[in-house]
Copies of this chain bind each other. A is one copy, B any other.
Amino acid sequence: MAVAEPESTARRRAPRVDAIRNREAIVEAAAEVLAEQGAAVDVREIARRSGVGMGTLYRHFPKKDDLVHTVLRQDFSRWAESARQAAIDAEDPWAALTDFYQQALTGYARHRAIMENFALTWSVPDLEGIRQLRLVIEELCARAGAAGLLRPGVTTDDLLLLLVSLGHAVQITDECRPQMWNRLLRISLDGLRADRREPLPTDTAPDSVSRSLRQ
């Protein structure tokens, strides 16, 4: 079983070369289309772009959802990884945070299906692949907090929601007004800095928040 079997292995792999290529073509085409048009695309469009028949597509992904989830998991992962890398490369905790957002918003925020799905984070329990991204943010939050750079009271959830929120801003402006969202990012990050600002209230009761909003 554990013995190498050059021939049988080759025999089994041979047909798969094409299959793998097709599967990849499908996922790639799907990622493209999903990024452009969101999850509502016609499956036939994906098949067309990937150059395979419907049957092939459905052989690899028995339900449209399977394909969509596969793409989302992959793209969320890549997204999380690229953003995480940007954070790691940064010199200090604050730069890590800013670079994280910068990268996260530059790379994938125009991916429609990603954003559609991301938006469900709060209403659907265990969403595809968001965990990874959340972990990255958690770490950033901890690091910046420990360094005393982050405004007290700011939570991972706040940072996550800020990401979704800005991601949406990117999505709707980047095509016509590239980088316009960067100004919003700047503003928000400034609001997040510790400085001499008072901490955010721990609760979110309308009264306390709205009172404090006016300072």
Contact = CB atoms under 8 A, between A and B. Distances in A.
A186 B154 CA distance: 11
B184 A165 contact: yes
A37 interface: no
Max chain B Cβ within 10 angstroms of own Cβ: one of A120, A166, A183, A212:
A183
A21 interface: no
Interface residues of A, number: 54
A107 to B, nearest CB: 13
A47 B192 CA distance: 47
Interface in A108-151: 119-123, 151
A197 B188 CA distance: 13
A82 B213 CA distance: 19
Interface string A7-22: 0000000000000000
A5 to B, nearest CB: 18
Secondary structure class of chain A's binding surface, majority of residues: helix
A70 interface: no
A103 to B, nearest CB: 10
Interface in A174-215: 175-192, 197, 200-201, 204-206, 209-210, 212-215
A25 interface: no
Interface stretch (A27-35, A60-68, A155-163): A155-163
Contacts of A98: 210, 213-214
A204 B120 CA distance: 30
Given A161-B181, A200-B183, A213-B98, A172 B206 contact: no
B186 A212 contact: yes
A172 B123 contact: yes
A43 interface: no
Contacts of A182: 204, 206, 209-210, 213
A172 B209 contact: no
Given A172-B121, A191-B191, A205-B179, A186 B165 contact: no
